[in-house]
Amino acid sequence: MRVPFPEPGPSADVPATFLTYLDYYRDTVADRFAGLTDAQARTARVPSGWTPVELVKHLTFMERRWFVWGFLGEPVPDPWGDRADDRWHVGPDETVAGLVAALRRGGARTREIVESTPLTTPAALGGRFTDPARRPTLAAILFHVLQEYARHAGHLDIVRELVDGRTGE
C-alpha cells in the first residue's frame, strides 16, 4: 500500500504535524518491504553494505534512543543494539515482520510521549543526556528524528528501485 503524503495545511498544532509526518515516514519505511523476499530484504544493494532489514532495525533503535532513553531518561536494554562491529546488524533469527512490528510499537510510544508533553520541555538528565547545558527540547528531538526518517526512507526508495524497479511517491 502506498501511503499518501500529508500535505501541509492551516493547522497550528505543531505536535500533531510532527506526529503526522513521523507516521507517514514510518508507514513509508514499512511499505518498502511489501513484496520483498527475506533474501531481498537481507541483501546489500549499495556500496556501503547496509541491508534494508538493518536500516529498519536502526530506525527502531534510533527512535527509542532519542525518545525513551534520551528524552525520558528511562533505562533501555542495549540502546545501541542495532550495531555490532561498528555497523548496523540484524541477527538471522530476526524477521522482517518482527522488525516492522517493533518499528510500529516504537512509533506508538513516541506518540504517547509527544501527546503528553509540551514541545519546550527539555530532555531528562540521565540516560542519553547527562549535561544540563546540552540536553535538547522535545521539539529539537522531534525535528532530528523526523529528518532521520525522511533521509532513510529516501535510501529505502533507492534500494527498492534497485531490487525490482518499484519507485516511491
Express each pLDDT in 99-135 by its tens digit: 999 999 999 999 999 999 999 999 999 999 999 999 9
Average pLDDT of the residues in 38-63: 97
Helix (H) or strand (E) holding 97: helix 96-115
Residue 4 pLDDT grade (very low, low, confident, very high; cuts 50, 70, 90)? confident
Q: Where are the domains of the chain?
A: 14-164
Strand partners, 129: 126
Q: Span 14-164: which CATH code?
A: 1.20.120.450
The single-letter code of the amino acid at 11 is S
Q: How confident is the model at residue 7 (pLDDT cuts 50, 70, 90)?
A: confident
pLDDT tens by residue, 70-81:
999 999 999 999
